[in-house]
């Protein structure tokens, strides 16, 4: 737990004035009747203006919970932030009052959800919903809010935006609904956009359109983006850096290029090897054996050791530190160097 306090920040140097958003050694647990689930165990990452960080991991790895902690929309109980800091422009959000945090939400940091249908209120037209935030937070008149809603819907490329203002969420297709959700999130012109699996619920073709849209918007509006996903393919074209999460920890953190070329953590390596490839024929697809750990009983030492092909006794006994590799990357593996050299070969 304490080792991460002196964790070096990988991949990019701290800009003057600090990072735009920085999560430091965050610990979150869910207290339930069955016991305490350690969902986040010392996550640290940062985001600078204008960049895209991809947070990658399978279900239950804690990637969405970290995002909800940043937004301050964790359901408490059962979730409790045990320790850590979330710094936005140098101020710790976790020590702020609910009212101060409310000011940050939407205006500074906004989030889009996986399932846009359930993230839109079914009883109000989409124009009303996009405009609601503007009327409430910026005191816009109904007519101004409506005009701005049309602009936002144009911005996210909803055809015939002005016509569809009065439509209800159920009258939109999946891709269009996700666009509405994005328009809502952009209403207050946030500096950071957190996209929580924005394309998981969509068709493959629509997925690409939404990812392109997000990348364009990020660039045009000069936002920083945290892209949460379990889909390595989605990440490649969009992200600058990738943080790979496993069992509530960041196991590897690197820029996209080096991570894809030579993963330095056995888990990342396993993930990359389990992507079906068009250019390799006649081979069984490799998989990562076993299941993600039960968060109430996280394995001793390295949480990945029961599934790891590189496992040694040290992995069972000792929690691996973040190992800093030459090019500013980190990997929480005792054998990071070997794994990277293996994958580079």
Partner 1 sequence: MSDFETVAATENQAARRGPSGEPGAPNQIGAAHKPRSLAGDAWRDLRRSPIFWISLALVVIFTLMAVIPGVFTTNDPSDCLLSRQHAGPSGGAIFGYDFQGCDTYSRAVYGTRASLLVGALSALGTGVIALVVGMLAGYFGRWIDAVLSRVIDVVLGIPLLLAAIVLLKRVGSASPTVRITAVIFVLAILGWTTAARVVRSSVITAKEQDYVAAARMLGAGHGRIMWRHILPNSLAPAIVVLTIALGSFIAAEATLSFLGIGLKAPTISWGQDIDTGRIHMRESATPLIVPSTFLALTVLAFIMLGDAIRDAFDPKLR
Cα separation, 292 vs 158, whole angstroms:
39
Using CB under 8 A as the binding rule, whether residue 86 contacts partner 1 is answered as no
In the shown chain, the binding pattern of residues 41 to 80 toward partner 1, with x for contact by CB under 8 A and - for none, equals ------------------------------x-x---x---
Query: What are 229-234's contacts with CB under 8 Å, separation 24+?
Result: 229/54, 229/55, 229/56, 229/197, 229/199, 229/200, 230/56, 230/57, 230/58, 230/59, 230/197, 230/200, 231/199, 231/200, 232/56, 232/271, 232/272, 232/275, 233/275, 234/199, 234/207
* Contact predicate 61/248, CB 8 Å: yes
Using CB under 8 A as the binding rule, whether residue 20 contacts partner 1 is answered as no
Question: Least distance from C-beta 108 to partner 1, angstroms?
Answer: 10
Pick the closer one to partner 1 by CB: 134 or 235.
Answer: 134
Pick from 136, 286, 300, 312 the residue near partner 1 by CB under 8 A.
136
Q: How many residues bind partner 1 (CB under 8 A)?
A: 58
Stretch that binds partner 1, among 16-24, 172-180, 234-242, 262-270 (CB under 8 A): 172-180
Pick the closer one to partner 1 by CB: 128 or 335.
Answer: 128
Using CB under 8 A as the binding rule, whether residue 170 contacts partner 1 is answered as yes
* Contact predicate 196/227, CB 8 Å: no
Helices within 156-198 (DSSP H only): 161-164, 174-186
Stretch that binds partner 1, among 54-62, 165-173, 256-264, 281-289 (CB under 8 A): 165-173
Using CB under 8 A as the binding rule, whether residue 158 contacts partner 1 is answered as yes
Stretch that binds partner 1, among 17-25, 89-97, 147-155, 242-250 (CB under 8 A): 147-155
Encoded tokens for 272: 């990359």
Helices within 187-265 (DSSP H only): 204-220, 232-236, 256-261
Pick from 113, 246, 310, 335 the residue near partner 1 by CB under 8 A.
113
Which residue, 74, 76, 96, is CA-closest to 87? 96
Question: Least distance from C-beta 168 to partner 1, angstroms?
Answer: 7
Using CB under 8 A as the binding rule, whether residue 91 contacts partner 1 is answered as no
Cα separation, 70 vs 84, whole angstroms:
11
Stretch that binds partner 1, among 86-94, 163-171, 234-242, 248-256 (CB under 8 A): 163-171
> What are the Cα distances from residue 146, in Å, to 45, 119, 151, 216, 224?
37, 20, 9, 24, 27
Cα separation, 211 vs 110, whole angstroms:
17
What is the footprint of partner 1 within residues 199-228 (CB under 8 A)? 209
Question: Least distance from C-beta 183 to partner 1, angstroms?
Answer: 12
Pick from 3, 118, 274, 300 the residue near partner 1 by CB under 8 A.
118
> What are the Cα distances from residue 208, in Å, to 186, 205, 246, 271?
20, 6, 26, 21
Please report the DSSP string for 83-128 in residue order.
EEEEEETTEEGGGS-HHHHHHHBTTTEEEE-S-HHHHS-TTS-HHH
Pick from 24, 46, 63, 146 the residue near partner 1 by CB under 8 A.
146
Pick from 19, 24, 164, 329 the residue near partner 1 by CB under 8 A.
164
Using CB under 8 A as the binding rule, whether residue 187 contacts partner 1 is answered as yes
Which residues of the chain form contacts with partner 1 (CB under 8 A)?
71, 73, 77, 102-107, 110-111, 113, 115, 118-125, 127-128, 131-133, 136-137, 142-143, 146, 150, 153-154, 157-168, 170-173, 175-176, 181, 184-185, 187-188, 209
């Amino acid at each position: 737990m304490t080792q991460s306090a002196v964790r070096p920040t990988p991949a990019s140097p701290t800009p003057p004035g600090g990072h735009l958003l920085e999560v430091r050694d965050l610990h979150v647990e869910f207290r339930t009747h069955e016991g305490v689930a350690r969902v986040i165990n010392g996550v640290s990452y940062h985001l600078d203006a204008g960049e895209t960080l991809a947070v990658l991991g399978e279900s239950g790895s804690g990637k969405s919970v970290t995002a909800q902690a940043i937004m301050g929309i964790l359901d408490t109980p059962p979730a409790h932030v045990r320790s850590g800091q979330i710094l936005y422009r140098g101020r710790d959000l976790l020590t702020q009052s609910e009212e101060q945090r409310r000011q940050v939400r939407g205006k500074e940091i906004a989030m889009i959800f996986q399932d846009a249908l359930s993230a839109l209120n079914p009883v109000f037209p989409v124009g009303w919903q996009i405009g609601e935030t503007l009327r409430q937070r910026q005191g816009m008149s109904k007519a101004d809010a409506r005009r701005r809603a049309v602009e936002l819907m144009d911005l996210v490329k909803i055809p015939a935006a002005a016509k569809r203002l009065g439509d209800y969420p159920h009258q939109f297709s999946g891709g269009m609904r996700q666009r509405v959700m994005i328009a809502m999130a952009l209403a207050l012109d946030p500096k950071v956009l957190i996209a929580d699996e924005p394309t998981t619920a969509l068709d493959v073709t629509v997925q690409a359109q939404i990812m392109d849209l997000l990348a364009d918007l990020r660039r045009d509006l000069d936002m920083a983006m945290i892209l949460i996903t379990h889909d390595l393919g989605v990440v490649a074209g969009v992200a600058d850096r990738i943080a790979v999460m496993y069992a509530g920890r960041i196991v590897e953190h690197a820029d996209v290029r080096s991570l894809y070329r030579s993963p330095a953590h056995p888990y990342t390596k396993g993930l990359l090897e389990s992507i079906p490839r068009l250019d390799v024929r006649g081979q069984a697809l490799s998989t990562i054996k076993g299941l993600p750990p039960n968060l109430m009983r996280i394995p001793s030492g390295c949480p990945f050791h029961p599934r790891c092909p590189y496992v040694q006794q040290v992995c069972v006994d000792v929690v691996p530190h973040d190992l800093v590799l030459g090019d500013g990357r980190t990997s929480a593996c005792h054998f990071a160097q070997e794994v990277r050299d293996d994958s580079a070969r």
